[in-house]
Amino acid sequence: MNIHIQSAQTEHRPGLESLLSAYALPVSDLPVALNGFYLALDGEAVVGAAGMEQWNEVGLLRSVAVAESHRNQHIARQLTDAVLAHARQAQVREMYLITNTADRYFEKYGFQRVERSEAPAAIAQTEQFAGLCPSSAVVMKMTLH
């Protein structure tokens, strides 16, 4: 396997949507230009994804997924690292995420659980927070330096 990580391009949208849909992750609110999204490609096939949406100094880590066939190869870590590096370059100070299943995984990065009420307005107004993710989902935050 020849996996490489790169910024998402609009021509990758079908593969990205297919991957995210396979794991019941939202696709209806993906940004048009896919700015802030990174992909793991095996040849031309999208086998992993992670993205960030940004509002000034606040970011939302989203859509972290790796195809079952490519798991246990540290692809999710490479993708998350790429997004966090992008966030730091973009002057993001606080990164949030919303998860139903991966809270323990993201604790390893330094994300900490927070109450939904602690999320800033920019995050609370996202489609993911407001409706796409259930109210039982865990909200996590990490301060970037």
Structure tokens at 45: 């096939």
- The pLDDT tens digits of the residues spanning 74-92 come to 999 999 999 999 999 999 9
CATH number for the domain including 75?
3.40.630.30
Domain count for the chain, please give it.
1
Whole-angstrom CA distances from 81 to 6, 13, 92, 134 are 12, 21, 14, 26
Structure tokens at 42: 């095996």
How far is the C-alpha of 38 from the C-alpha of 47, rounded, in Å? 11
Tokens 């299943």 sit on residue: 101
- The pLDDT tens digits of the residues spanning 34-72 come to 999 999 999 999 999 999 999 999 999 999 999 999 999
Buried b (16+ CB within 10 A) or exposed e, 86-105: bbeeeebebbbbbbeeebee
Contact at 8 Å (CB) between 83 and 39? Answer: no
Quote the pTM value. 0.91
- Residue 11, domain extent: 3-143
